[in-house]
Amino acid sequence: NRPDFTKLTCVSNPSKPNFLLILADDLGIGDVGCYGNDTIRTPNIDSLAKDGVRLTQHIAAAAVCTPSRAAFLTGRYPIRSGWASLQWFAAVRGLPPNETTFARILYQQGYSTALVGKWHMGVNCNTRHDHCHHPLNHGFDYFYGMPFTLLNECQGSDDPELAKSLQDTYWFYTQMITLAVFTLVIGKLANLFPVKWKIIICLAICGLLHFISWFSSYGFTKHWNCILMRNHDITEQPMNLQKTTSNMLKEYHSFIFHFFFLFLKTPETTVIKIHQLSLGLLLANGKTQLLDVIDKEDLKNTTFIYFASDHGGFLEAHRGNSQLGGWNGIYKGGKGMGGWEGGIRVPGIVRWPGVLPAGTVIDEPTSLMDIYPTVVQLAGGKVPQDRVMDGHTLLPLLQGTEQHSRHEFLFHYCGVFLHAVRWHQKDSDHYATPVFQPEASGACFRRGICPCFGDGVTHHDPPLLFNLSQDPSEANPLSADTAPVFDAVVRRIRRAVEEHRKTLTPVPQQLSPHNNIWKPWLQPCCGTFPFCGCHEENNKV
């Protein structure tokens, strides 16, 4: 059932505004007109920047979805909560219950909170119905959207996206086992091999079990992961992508007429539409519809609007010769690359008419984690005092009372591995960089996405050092010969890394092999497992 939004009333005190936070997925900084794109029109996003504040060094805390979103919601580096990534909807781990989201604090301050779009931070712990990691258990009153994410598999694509290289490996082993069984059978029948039938049968059974173990999950991704939920109920399994965007817009409109706080997480499909149709419905028409509602309800001057992306564009996402995953402008790298600017530098726009100066551009390092203390402060709450908080309030910068970022250092992780460090002096140290495939392609096309460790990365000692103010594309690393301060800068950054690591405490890793494998008993199911399937419109009488 839909909630009764008519019971909600809007705040009139501008010191405690309404909040509309829009977090796009896989949207590259180069995709947006006000950040330099002159081929794709984004007039509605550009209008936000014209009427508000544009952040030019807005940095994601991770270069992939789940850890970036965890950091955004908690104001803390994802390594503090054990986050690296999340592959399976039906996996044990999720956003830990001891993490306090800004939604929970706003709820305690009297706000009504909703999340419409993508969650991607776990659902269940022990059974398919416990919903221990569900948004409603992390401070949100209302949820409509995808508890997991949108993959190529959801669109019926022949090009798998989920663990592509791992699937290729599993399929290769399956083929080898099949070939071995076939060879042994032929050899046995032709009296070429003195092998017992029992051995052949055992090998065949092992091969079949191996195939079933991985194909039962990866082969049915569309049914297991491509799900829409309203609160605790599954409304579509698998989701109907033809109607997903319009359905989400209806939910936005239903809530925004009488909202206090709304957090919109846009799915990848909107980003794909940006590149396929020149402008996606949600980030273009949809967003302007939301703004029209705000203006019509006379909420413009009492609404704090924030727009950003969770990380850089997905360079490896393509269909044929068409790139679908976003463009990162002049910045090297993209999604999955925790050190290169293209993976972590994202658009960041804030609008609050009458409070924040219109048309302002801030070229100081800021982070998605900074939204946490910012909205908590505006809502009259307090950030948790019992843990390390990595975000800093943006209000002094946004209002012009401070000219410099409070971040002296920002630490750029790829999974649990520290790949780079940004110093406020606008220098960047790279300890590890991905190995591009092909070498000069600027991406990891053969792997599907760049790894964080192993033979897919190159370690640098001394680290690569770039002056981002003069070399934002990170094309010309400095050295002791070209920069007299090289050794001093490297020593200072290394000391900062040591100090940062002292603040880390051991936590359970959400991406441990046991936690992240598909577990049938945790699989949310509309119907009787494994025969899951439903569509909301078909259930209406």
In angstroms, the CA 337 to CA 335 distance is 6
Determine which one of 10, 58, 65, 525 is catalytic: 65
The single-letter DSSP state of residue 127 is S
CB neighbour list of residue 190: distance below 8 Å, 6 or more residues apart:
none
For residue 120, indicate whether it is catalytic.
yes
In angstroms, the CA 444 to CA 3 distance is 45
Using omega within 30 degrees of 0 as the cis cutoff, is the peptide bond preceding 238 cis?
yes
Residue 69's φ and ψ, nearest 5 degrees, are: -70, -35
The single-letter DSSP state of residue 3 is -
| Neighbour count for residue 415 (Cβ, 10 Å) | 22
Task: Answer for the pair 18, 260: CB distance below 8 angstroms, yes or no.
Answer: yes
For residue 258, indicate whether it is catalytic.
no
| Neighbour count for residue 423 (Cβ, 10 Å) | 19
CB neighbour list of residue 113: distance below 8 Å, 6 or more residues apart:
103, 106, 107, 139, 140, 141, 142, 260, 261, 262, 263
The distance of Cα 414 from the centroid of its chain, to the nearest Å, equals 13
CB neighbour list of residue 169: distance below 8 Å, 6 or more residues apart:
none
* Beta-bridge partners for 54: 349, 361
Determine which one of 120, 131, 138, 407 is catalytic: 120
Show which residues are catalytic: 65, 120
